[in-house]
Amino acid sequence: MRDLREWVARLKAEGELVEVTAEVDPHLEITEIADRGMKGGAPALLFRTVRGSRMPVLINQFGSERRMAMGLGTESLDALAGRIEELIELQPPQGLVQKVKALGKLRELASFMPGTAKSGPCQEVVLPEPDLDLVPILTCWPEDGGPFVTLPLVFSRDPRTGVRNCGMYRIQKVDRKTCMMHWQIHKDGAAHLRDSQGRVPVAVAIGTDPALTYSATAPLPPHVDEMMFAGFLRGRKVEMVPCRTQPVEVPASAEIVLEGYVDATDLRPEGPFGDHTGFYTPVDDYPTFHLTGMTMRRDAIYSTTVVGMPPMEDLWLGKATERLFLPLLRMTLPDLVDMNLPLEGVFHNCAIVSVKKRYPGHAKKLINAVWGMGLLSLTRCVVVVDHDVDVRDVSAVAFRAFSNVDVGRDMLVTEGPVDALDHAAPYFAYGSKVGFDATRKWPGEGVVRPWPEEIRMSDEVRARVDARWAELGIPFPR
């Protein structure tokens, strides 16, 4: 898909979009409608008539596994993860045929590097002055500190290396041309500000095709360009255009572009904000984002989301990361079999992982590895189960965690960085974390008694009962 419009057309063609023409209010009312939709399995919603603005509002575009996969142009997230696995498993080619194949792959990769055009549709309308009042920015929850742009792609460059970063960070509107930038302490945008002389040129793109929007949320290392990753995901390079008032580029096909700078010397209170944790994040000081320019497509669509008590739309963005980054995690942790970030853990509070144990203490090694791995290091609770337990079956995981753990032996407690949104931690972004080794224990792992077998019927008897089920006339699934 090239842009948001093609994506909207695709959603419509697939019966995955409802257009609402009745007037709705961006102040709280859209949240209540969308929240019901997100929790009730509704399609994407395109509100055509929004009070106080001429722009339509698109919400819940990613709100199911099917739509998330559709957006990334794949039949399933695991199939896409397979493509990533293939790429990173590229071995030094042996014969001529393999060499030609490997060359083809490298050429394909090179073709995903973003291109640059002089101008693009996102600059069809150039406003003489930035004016955020034109955009129907949602006030999401009753105690929110104001309206927030919730699905923005924020572009800046590392002031030392010039490498581009694109991240999704919410933006609170203060007035027509002033905002607050919610760059959390562990994120790349915040690092740019720390390393700058006080001002970082920034551009914000709102309303792009789904591969780009997703890529802004992906926890890529700082030296990997999210726009190259987006090009790889969608199978076509991303075309960028230079902004008019700042030395930053944005995707040419974005619906709305905000240009400006973030000022480290101008910190102001940001929030409160009804966050994806299910709680309000309290007011804290964040840097100001001063707009210097604003451009749009003709008839721009405003693309947004609402976060809050899970499950909501962002669950599926997180699930995409869980699936797509598993092959990358396995590069350094080859014994990691599977991973589930359950919705109740809101991404940073809980990771369930499974391991094919090969030596005593293997599960504990994995717990420590999670705590040393990128943004996963912020995980407050890690549960490790054996490889034959389905990590997505939370009941099966709980059964092992409740029955296989001797707290004195199988629980690890550590202290370190936790998520900036972790309200239970005693300090901001610093607290304790727990890991449970819920695997079967081996001799050499502190068990002096034989470990019991889990109860299972023999295959022979199961097959016999399968074959006789109809004859028994018992009206239950077999």
Where do contacts with ligand FMN occur on this chain (CB under 6 A)? 150-151, 165, 167-170, 182-184, 187-189, 217-219, 305, 307, 314, 317, 375
Name the amino acid, one letter, at 392.
R
Catalytic residue among 188, 225, 263, 275: 275
Helix (H, G, I), strand (E, B), or coil: what is residue 414? strand
**Quick one: which of 67, 56, 52, 66 has its CA closest to 20?**
56
Chain-centre distance for alpha carbon 351:
15
Smallest Cα–Cα separation from 71: which of 209, 256, 202?
209
- Residue 441: name the closest of 411, 395, 405 by CA: 405
Whole-number CA gyration radius for the chain: 24
**Shortest distance, position 265 Cβ to ligand FMN, whole Å:** 20
Q: How far is the CB of 324 from ligand FMN (least distance, A)?
A: 12
Residue from 262, 30, 273 nearest 146 by CA: 273
CB burial of residue 167 (10 Å; 0-12, 13-18, 19+): buried
Q: How many CA atoms lie within 13 A of 325 on its CB side?
A: 22
Which of 18, 2, 6 shows the shortest CA–CA distance to 59?
18
Closest by Cα among 70, 73, 54, 216 to 151: 216
Nearer to ligand FMN, 121 or 318 (CB): 318
Minimal distance, residue 233 CB to ligand FMN, in Å: 15
CB of 280 to ligand FMN, least distance (A): 14
Q: Which is nearer to ligand FMN, 24 or 190 (CB)?
A: 190
Nearest to 323 by CA among 84, 81, 86, 72: 81
| Comparison of 233 and 337: residue with beta carbon closer to ligand FMN | 233
CB of 227 to ligand FMN, least distance (A): 12
CB contact at 8 A, 225 and 109: no
DSSP letter, residue 460: H
Q: Which is nearer to ligand FMN, 227 or 355 (CB)?
A: 227
To the nearest whole angstrom, how small is the minimum distance from the Cβ of residue 134 to ligand FMN?
22
- The yes-or-no answer on residue 406 being catalytic is no
Output 121 or 189, the one with its CB closest to ligand FMN: 189
* Nearest approach, Cβ of residue 165 and ligand FMN (Å): 5
Distances (CA, A) of 231 to 112, 133, 167, 236, 237: 5, 32, 16, 5, 4
Active site residues: 275
